[in-house]
Amino acid sequence: MAIIEVWYRLIGALPFGWTHYVFMKNALLAVLLVTPLFAILGTMVVNNRMAFFTDVLGHSALTGIAIGVLLGFHDPTLPMICLAVVLAIAINLLKNATRASVDTVLGVIMAFIVALGIVILSRQGGFVKYTSYLIGDILAVTPQQIAWFFVIAVVVLGYWYVAGNAMILTSVNSSLARSRRINTFLIETSFTILLALVVIVSIRLAGILIINSLLILPAAASRNLTRNSHTYTAWAVIISILSGITGLIVSYYWGTASGATIVLFASGCYGVSALLGRYVMK
């Protein structure tokens, strides 16, 4: 908490009106912690064509909330995480066990999981109470949640340091990775579990409807500009952080939803990168 107090003083010294509000200071710190994680994980999501997969994980939060309600949890975060982890493992197993395309498997699972969550939560008109999870509210982030984001950031960076090269090689050529004695199933499963954890914990910040966009857009924009793995990740992080900070501050002045505003700026970065990429990549 001492670190957060120092952060408050540093940001409060800036000559802007929004820096006087604690909720904006908390939200900015959350953005600085979460956006690099989304960028790093997003590069692997884009490389492995997992955009639909992360969408399924995000929407599974509805059913996680429903299970939490049925079990009497005041805070449904734990059931949401458990369901997402189980779902991530199950999908990874199904990819290797069925002849159907991955998109088909994900479509079937998503249809079931979303319908189940809505049916449970809509009993006796109770669904309205949980609509906040659909759009999220980064301005409501607390210092305790920020501390958890810091822990998750350390875990993600530690995983990237240990398994990053193996993950990149697996995404490029899984056969070559196996020939080098890399357990590709373990790498893929551990990555999907970590991805599930980050997505679900961030749901309250960005919301179910747009959480996938925050993962995909910075990485996709970076991919338009470079093919080198190191610069690809670096640009994704830069684009994600800039979109996050700009979107948060602009949403304060516009009075709009912060998560959606951040996505708009990330979309703008993608559009610019798509145009620049035609010349940069020549």
Q: Please report whether residue 29 resides in a domain.
A: no
125: pLDDT strictly greater than 70? no
Model pLDDT, residue 222 = 94
Residue 26 lies in a domain: no
Q: Looking at residue 165, what is its pLDDT?
A: 85
- Give the CATH number for residue 140: 1.10.3470.10
Note the Cα 153 to chain centre separation in Å: 12
C-alpha 77/C-alpha 61 separation (Å) is: 9
192 with 127, same domain: the answer is yes
Query: Is residue 104 in some structural domain?
Result: yes
Cα 80 to Cα 74, 135, 199, 202, 235, distances in angstroms: 12, 16, 10, 11, 31
pLDDT for residue 34: 93
| Residue 22: inside a domain | no
Give the number of other Cβ atoms within 10 Å of residue 88's Cβ. Answer: 26
Residue 198 φ/ψ region, left for φ over 0, alpha for ψ in the -120 to 50 degree band, beta for the rest: alpha
Contact assessment for residue 232 and residue 223, using Cβ atoms and an 8 Å cutoff: yes
Residues 194 and 57 in one domain: yes
**What pTM does this model have?**
0.88
The pLDDT value recorded for residue 168 is: 83
Region 216-232: what's the mean pLDDT? 89
CA atoms of 148 and 282, how far apart (whole Å): 43
Residues spanned by the domain of 219: 210-282
pLDDT range class, residue 282, cuts 50, 70, 90: low
Strand (E) or helix (H) holding 76 = none
More confident residue, 63 or 103: 63
Q: Both ends of the chain: CA-CA distance in Å?
A: 49
Residue 248 has pLDDT above 90, yes or no: yes
Quote the number of domains for the chain.
2
Q: Which helix (H) or strand (E) holds 56?
A: helix 51-70
Residue 112 belongs to a domain: yes
Same domain? For 201 and 235 the reply is: no
Q: Is residue 157 part of a domain?
A: yes
pLDDT in tens, 88-111: 888 877 776 766 667 787 888 889
Last residue of a domain, one of 159, 186, 206: 206
Last residue of one domain, picked from the residues 175, 206, 237:
206
- For the CA atoms of 62, 64, 69, 75, the dihedral, rounded to the nearest 10 degrees, stands at -100
